[in-house]
Structure 1
Amino acid sequence: MDMIKKPVKRQVDVLRPPPPEQPPWLIYTHGTSKKKQIQTFFTISDNNSYLKSIPILRGKSICGSCHGWLILRDSIDPKQFSLFNLVTEQSLLLPPLSSLPMSTLGDTELSTCTLTSPPYSEGCILFLFFADQVFSCRPTSKDEDGTSISSSCSWVSQKVDIDGKRTGLYSAISHKGLIYCCALSPVHRILLLCMKVADDPSNTLTKFLQLEEPICTFRRATSNYYIVESCGHIYWVCPCSRYGQDLSINDVEIWELDMHSKKWVHVKCLGGRAFFVGLNCSTWCWASNGLQENCVYLLVPSENDKIFYSYSLDEKSLTVFRPLPNLKTPYSTPVWFNAMPQHEHQRLLAWHDVQRSLEFTQIGSSIQPHENERRESECKPTKLPEDILWLISKHLHLFDYWNFQASSKVFHSASPLVPQRRPHNLLPLFIFFKNNSGLCQVIDPTRDDSQYNILQVSSDPFTVDCSKDGWIVVCLRESIKFFNPFMKVKGDFPPIRNILTHEVSGIGFSTNPTSPDCLTVLFENHVEGIVIFYLRYGDETWTRCQIVNEDAIRFDVVTTSSVYFGGAFYFIDVEGCLGEFRLVGDEESWQVYDYPIEVDLRLHSCHLVECNGKLFAVYIGYMGSWLKVFNFFNHPEVKWVQVESLGKYSLFINNSSSFSKEISEEMGIRNRIYLSRLYGDSIIFYSFKTGKFHIDGGDGSLKDFSGTKKPMRSCWI
């Protein structure tokens, strides 16, 4: 029997784990040699990092964490695994995996792992998943004095298959004697696989439930799905991306498994909790001490491991963090570690006792009807003639106009229903929707305040795909709608046969959708090539244009709307190449132009915008590391010319809409590019004068986009 004593407390703090008062931690292991290998612990709640060199973690990779324990694998001998508790500093060396094949790297990659309970508890089983093979053992004994634990276990193995065919498993968790994990079916469908653990030394896994993934509104093109157990419930977390090649997250959907009906139930609120998900570990805790409630913190494997995201279910916004930009390389994929056992979370507060909801109240809504009538009777401005009230409302800023209407029935009836173009609204407004009921926040870059309003779009989930001349195009799962929030006009585009809206992008129109001259186009991400649909005003069906791409340049459209310029629609792709679609009569033409040679391919985003009769392309580097603007010319020769100044113009860019605006000199905001990103509640902009990003209304500059959030359903209008 192997015995490993609990380590004696050391005097040197760097050899000890950080205090566990601020869960969870994000742990990085970096360094090459065993003696110089160190760990960085980052805590989200207080935004601090701790540099450690814990002896027992040297020369090991962290495979995952569960029930307050790290699951470790020896870097030199990959057959050797161990367990370590960062709080109690107990450790357990497991027998080597003598039967593990080492022929190829793929055979030895650990896809996921989990513990059914802490090692000192009865019935604890450790599961290691390698491709279609599962290894398990039972490290269950504990010394009477509680100072050491022992392992007399032996490994057992078994194959896992679905309908007789081998399958890989990942994102595994355990709950009440069941193992839940993601699996890929033989027909390439993502499944939730629930397996029952045998109550004997064989540790046999028997399929208990097989359930297909929930039908998300906008299906993701990759397989990054996560399973979380919280308060006795199983949750499926799905980062969503609509487009085939551009894998940026545009939504996060959460589904709860109803064990009675064996169905998925869509979750709109986490009841004050925060989820932390990654392929190595998924956990949760009650939001407090700096953690945001109703939020999902994500580690995305396809992204740079130095960053992570937080998605707010309340705001429908995605915040990016790069807490350790100077992290020494090489470093391992980070792992979430929750020092507090799950039963302690449940003991703090029962799930059914948490009833929280986000309430927004418009101005005047809290006033009772009789109180409102009394105030109106005492309010002398209501005695003014109606034409004077109409004249006053006409010259108000839009925010003041909304408040003016809401403050009195007399004011509401006297003011025009459709707000006219207003002299005080000098810049486009930034609008982002917070929920499906139409609640949105509106920001004017010239004002310090923002306004909440209700713009009824749809009770179903939607995305904002295009905005132009006051019109907004939104996509639901199976339909595309347009509306003008100020004119109170809305309509539906005809459905596209056999195409779901998550398969289209690059929507644009030549003029407003109700005009007889309107031509609308959209781009389909098709595996066989480029497909463009277009619709003339009055048509009942879309015309499909299959384009044979004879250009040497591959074109994969990005998640931005197209721009109608010079009688043609222009699209931009994930690498910054420019596509031109022109329709003259019934003659269709397509041309692809290469991106500027000065552009680094590590792009964060790229946008097209018309400015002063010119076509500009805005390229933003990874995490906002740089920004460049180019003017595109295709006559008399094709060329890109870098723009060093916008002069008296400023740009307003977003995936769904980008505009230019001539700015008066006295406003002091010329030569800027306003982004669709926020720091707190303030807009981020790029200044050509300083060559840096700034916070509107604030001092100083930003090094990059870390800590900034992107509202996922937004537009400039």
Structure 2
Amino acid sequence: MEIVERRERLRPPAPQPVPWLVFSHGKGGKNQMFFNILEQDKNYSRSIPEMRQKFIHASQHDWLVMSDRNFEEHCFLWNPVSLETVQLPPLKVEYNLWTLKSKYDQGGTTCILTAPPNDPNCMILFWNMCTTFFLFCRLGEEQWTKQYYKLEDGDNHTLRRAISCSDGNIYALTLQGKLAVIDQVPPGRLSVRILEVEPAKSPTMTEALDKYLVESCGEIFLVMGIYTGFILEEASNIEVFRMDFSSMVWAKVQSIGDNVFFLGDEFCLSCSTVDSKVKGNCIYFTQTNDKSLYTFTLQDKSISVSLPCPNLSTPWFSLGWIMPVHRSAVTSIEHAQRIPKEKNTKVKDTQKAIIREEEVEKRVVEGRAWSEVPNDLLKLITRHLLLADYMQFSLVCKTWRLAALPTKWNNALIESSTQCSWLMSIQTEMGKCSFFDPTSSMTYFMDVPDLSGATICFSKDGWLLISQGLHSVFFFNPFTKARIELPDLNTNYFFKGISFSSSPTSPDCVVFGINNNFPEWIEIGVCRRGDKSWTVFNLRSNLHFLTSFNNPVFYNGSFYCLGQEGNLGVFDPNEGQFTILRNPQKPCTSTRQNFLVECNGDLLSVFVGHLAKWVRIFRLDHSIMVWKETKCLEDHTLFVSRVASLTKTEMTKKWGMENKVYFPRFRGKEGVSYTLGACSNDFSESEKPNLNFYGTKEPVHCAWIEPRWPRPCCEELNWLV
């Protein structure tokens, strides 16, 4: 080992309670940029010899496992605090670990450092998901050991990501998502055991999933990243599971408490935020070929995006997260054990405060119930409420609900609330929902038990199309709580896109769903009012078609689906026929965020560049079947999202919302909109234009909805009638 002393620019920044995110940048990869979430507006520029033109394969036990980008056989351990270096045997080029990795977007090669180099149990272990052999060595050995492995249960797949836990075990995931243990067996060999644990399943139908293993406070967590599209480019949701060894199941969790996870392509880290100023219950992650930093907040189920290092010179690439400070499992467990006591103290104090508050209210009200408020006074109050307050008003008790009959609404209430689309989000598994009104930038909250564990699939005419569990699909109006049950699906929910033609109370309502994992195969699901079951059929086409990441639009009597290449697929519900149109062709390069929407009798497509660097809108010219770019929406306003895209015209003049596109995003408490012709995203009247989504967050379960309060009769709520 060699201990080195040097000036500041040639060594990493001082250790922090949370990991550093590191980028290599500039000609020759000589420079590094360090970022820490504790200092959001600060970067540290370095040029560290050991990190020039290097890969970081693992950050464990205070040490980094590194290799040279130019001389792939050069591999070593490096301590970013003491600057000690431990040379490892050269990796033979024929092992091909790095070449195989370059053919895949993420997670090709896995590396495990079982212990620090001063520990006799220290071993460095490599494998690639495209191969079936291990490469490992122990300190002092002059060459790597190559050992082939075979999974016990006959699974032909290979191992992927892994973690080395504080209990001494190495846990890994197979490509099928099964949990395995890598054991060290004499004499100096490794074996793989598949544990009897069912793979964690996502209720969302998606082409792309990425799974990470994380150890936190002595427990194993599985973090499942859900992406739009076929490659891991844009995360749309994250789900977290904890390994319950008592019952051998992956248990889904809604919170990770005061802990924070940091996900990377090569390895993951976790830390406690008890003794730091970092917000807990969050997951930080990066994405391939993207210098953005994303944060998933479990509390409100949202993904925010920031630009941690805005001044990177090209070429650049991410080295991942490094954690120079050793945090033993004992320390983490001590934190975890101390948390409940602190929380209990806070709970007791809060309970005392609530009791005192109730005593005051009791003395003031003198025992009178809310239901005893005079009816005339209640009716007078309702005339001055906005719709969101009106919704909460009717939930207090039966007496208040009767006083809030829709016939008592006044014109101001209707005009201020129903002429603009609201952004609705399901924030918790228990059905806590938020409603954002862009005209006032106000957000209202409501508990909707009917939506516990539900996913919003589509929205139209004030109705939501909801999936719940694997088979249940139903209509729901969150303003009236009206519910219309649809027949259960015979298989798990599988639609990539779904829509309905008109209000579900209408006798001609048709629900249309589409799924295609392969460009030549299309699966269609149809359910009409009165149907007792879904009609599902498969189609094969010589014209390749892959649906884009948005829902179909009912237009001129047919359902139109936007393809990833800008082309259209059309389903005629009367003929029961799906047609792929040769034209129009793709009008621009974006495939990440595309939207289809009807506007004033025209069919519009909205294409958004990565993080909204640009926004372009096209109108379909039916005469020549070409997308023609439009620079102005005039008095119209578009509200776009993957679930539902809507158009409004009534409120544009009054609210100053004309000629804008609203996205399902927030910056602070303000909504995010794009003004055509201005080339900017508007966050508020007082802020300067911004050309991207940095500094914004998006709820993962959200949709634009039109606030409507219909009162359907019993027959209309029965789908089979």
Scaled by the length of structure 1, the TM-score of the pair is: 0.86
Q: Say if 1:526 and 1:287 are closer, same or farther in 2 by CA, change over 3 A.
A: same
2:203 corresponds to 1:217: yes
Query: Could you give the per-residue CA deviations for residues 10-45 of structure 1, whole angstroms, max 9, x where no partner exists?
Result: 23x221111112521112223554xx6222222222
2:435 is the alignment partner of 1:442 = yes
Q: Residues 61 and 75 of structure 1 are in contact (CA less than 8 Å); yes or no, is this contact kept in structure 2?
A: yes
**% identical equivalent positions:** 28
Task: Please tell me whether the aligned partners of residues 418 and 487 of structure 1 are also in contact (alpha carbons under 8 angstroms).
Answer: no
Deviations 1:671-703 (A, max 9, x none): 211110112232111112522112145511223
Q: Which residue of 1 aligns with 2:704?
A: 716
Q: In the alignment, is residue 60 of structure 1 matched against residue 54 of structure 2?
A: yes
**In structure 2, do the counterparts of structure 1 residues 649 and 123 end up closer, same or farther at CA, with 3 Å as the change threshold?**
same
Contact (CA 8 Å) 2:301, 2:428: kept in 1 or not? yes
Q: CA deviation at 1:270?
A: 0.5
Measure how far apart 1:66 and its partner are: 1.4
| Pairing of 1:431-510 with structure 2 (within 5 A) | 431-459=424-452, 461-476=453-468, 477-498=470-491, 500-501=492-493, 503-510=494-501
Matched, 1:604 2:567: no
Provide the C-alpha distance between the structure 2 equivalents of 1:366 and 1:690, rounded to a whole number of angstroms: 54
Asked if 2 retains the 8 angstrom alpha-carbon contact of 1:376 and 1:382, the reply is no
Q: What is the deviation of 1:469?
A: 0.8
| Deviations 1:160-209, CA, capped at 9 Å, x for gaps | 2114676533322112221111223xxxx2222112223x6715345373
Deviation at 1:274, TM superposition (A): 0.6
What aligned pairs does 1:286-685 form with structure 2 within 5 A after superposition?
Answer: 286-287=272-273, 291-300=278-287, 303-343=288-328, 346-347=331-332, 349-355=334-340, 386=375, 389-390=378-379, 392-394=381-383, 396-405=385-394, 411-416=400-405, 422-425=414-417, 426-459=419-452, 461-476=453-468, 477-498=470-491, 500-501=492-493, 503-527=494-518, 529-551=521-543, 554-584=544-574, 586-592=575-581, 594=583, 598-599=587-588, 601-634=589-622, 636-662=623-649, 663-685=651-673
Distance 2:629 2:617 in 1: 6
What is the letter of the counterpart of residue 114 of structure 2? T
Aligned CA distance change for structure 1 residues 382 and 259 (closer, same or farther; 3 Å) = closer
Displacement after TM superposition at 1:101 (Å): 3.7
Q: 223, 238, 246: which one pairs with 1:252? A: 238
Q: Which runs of 5+ in 2 are unaligned?
A: 706-721
Cα gap change, 1:40 to 1:415, in 2 (>3 Å): same
CA-CA distance at 1:416 after TM superposition: 2.0
**440-449 or 23-32, which deviates more:** 23-32
Contact 1:218 1:242 in 2 (8 A): no
SS at structure 2 position matched to 1:213: coil
Instruction: Give the distance between the partners of 2:230 and 2:434, measured in 1 at CA.
Output: 30
**Distance (Å, rounded) in 2 between the aligned partners of 1:108 and 1:383:** 71
The aligned residue for residue 270 of structure 2 is 284
Alignment of 1:136-215 (within 5 A): 136-139=136-139, 151=140, 154-163=143-152, 167-175=157-165, 176-184=167-175, 189-198=176-185, 202-207=188-193, 209=195, 211-215=197-201
Moved more, 286-295 or 512-521: 286-295
Q: Give the structure-2-normalised TM-score.
A: 0.86
Determine the C-alpha separation between the residues in 1 that align with 2:596 and 2:285: 30
Q: In the comparison of the two structures, how many residue pairs are matched?
A: 680
| Contact 2:558–2:572, Cα closer than 8 Å, also in 1 | yes
Amino acid at match of 2:653: E
Partner of 2:133: 133
Q: 1:132 to 1:321 in 2, by over 3 A?
A: farther
Q: 1:557 to 1:290 in 2, by over 3 A?
A: farther
| C-alpha contact 2:272 2:332 (8 A) present in aligned 1 | no
Distance 2:467 2:682 in 1: 32
Asked if 2 retains the 8 angstrom alpha-carbon contact of 1:376 and 1:408, the reply is no
**C-alpha displacement at 1:523, in angstroms?**
0.7
Deviates more, 1:244-253 or 1:326-335: 244-253
CA-CA distance at 1:571 after TM superposition: 1.4
Write the distance in 2 (CA, Å) between the matches of 1:487 and 1:712: 24
User: 1:427-474 CA deviation, whole Å, 9 max, x = no partner?
Assistant: 111111111211112111122432111123343x33211011110012
Q: CA deviation at 1:713?
A: 0.8
Aligned to 2:711: none
- Listed one character per residue, the Cα deviations across residues 502-554 of structure 1 (whole Å, up to 9, x for unaligned) are x2032111111122121111112254512222221101122234334344xx3
Distance 1:158 1:240 in 2: 33
Q: CA deviation at 1:269?
A: 1.0
Deviates more, 1:52-61 or 1:226-235: 52-61
Alignment RMSD: 3.4
C-alpha contact (below 8 Å) 1:464/1:715 kept by paired residues = yes
Higher helix share: 2
Distance 2:67 2:407 in 1: 66
Residue in 2 that maps onto 1:142: none
Alpha-carbon distance in structure 2 between the residues aligned to 1:345 and 1:649: 60
Distance across 2 between alignment mates of 1:78 and 1:638: 53
Q: Which residue of structure 1 aligns with residue 710 of structure 2?
A: none
